[in-house]
Amino acid sequence: MQVLHEKTMNDRIVWINDLLAAAKEHPSADMIALLESCGKKCALRQNIFPFFERLRDEASDCKTRADYVAFLKKRMPLDIEEAEDGIILRLGKDKCSCPMAEEVAPDAGALCHCTCGHEKATWSILFGKPVDVQIVKSFLRGGDDCVIKIMV
């Protein structure tokens, strides 16, 4: 039975790699939206929304982007800085933090669209409005860190 389970898991990984390869070859708005939706669902499964709801409540005195940056620097173990059009988060990791990244192809940069959906969903809670997210640098796209810009 274990062999069947391993084969099924391998088949799923191959299927996910095929999907990510298709997303890379055909990065249409629909494909990107699909992957971002998966990222939002991942954030829901991780039960991370209550954390961001608490952060939102604690940040109620923040009025400017600079206020949010100062607040977040005290509460999150990230390198955070203000940018002209958003907030830059440098995760400072030595590999991709997505749990799927180790199981899929190492050049599966399309998986970063999933990360965008995850980050949009969580940071929108903190700021109380929809935000846009840009992956500035990522391991899966050849970078040496994961750097995310939250446009607020």
> Domain range spanning residue 50?
2-151
> What is residue 9's predicted lDDT score, i.e. its pLDDT?
60
> What is residue 18's predicted lDDT score, i.e. its pLDDT?
85
Residue type at position 71: F
> What is residue 115's predicted lDDT score, i.e. its pLDDT?
93
Q: What is the rounded CA–CA span in Å between residue 36 and residue 107?
A: 18
Q: What is the rounded CA–CA span in Å between residue 80 and residue 26?
A: 33
User: 78: burial class by Cβ within 10 Å (0-12, 13-18, 19+)?
Assistant: middle
Question: Nearest-CA neighbor of 112 among 65, 42, 56?
Answer: 42
For the chain, helix, strand, coil in percent to 5 are 55, 15, 30
Q: What is the rounded CA–CA span in Å between residue 31 and residue 23?
A: 6
Domain count, the chain: 1
Phi, psi angles (nearest 5°) of residue 134: -130, 130
> What is residue 68's predicted lDDT score, i.e. its pLDDT?
96
**pLDDT tens per residue across all 152 residues of the chain:** 455 456 666 788 888 888 888 888 888 899 899 899 999 999 999 999 999 999 999 999 999 999 999 999 999 988 999 999 999 999 988 888 888 888 776 668 888 999 999 999 999 999 999 999 999 999 988 889 999 999 98
CATH code for the domain in which residue 73 is found: 3.30.1380
Strand partners, 88: 81, 149
Strand partners, 137: 147
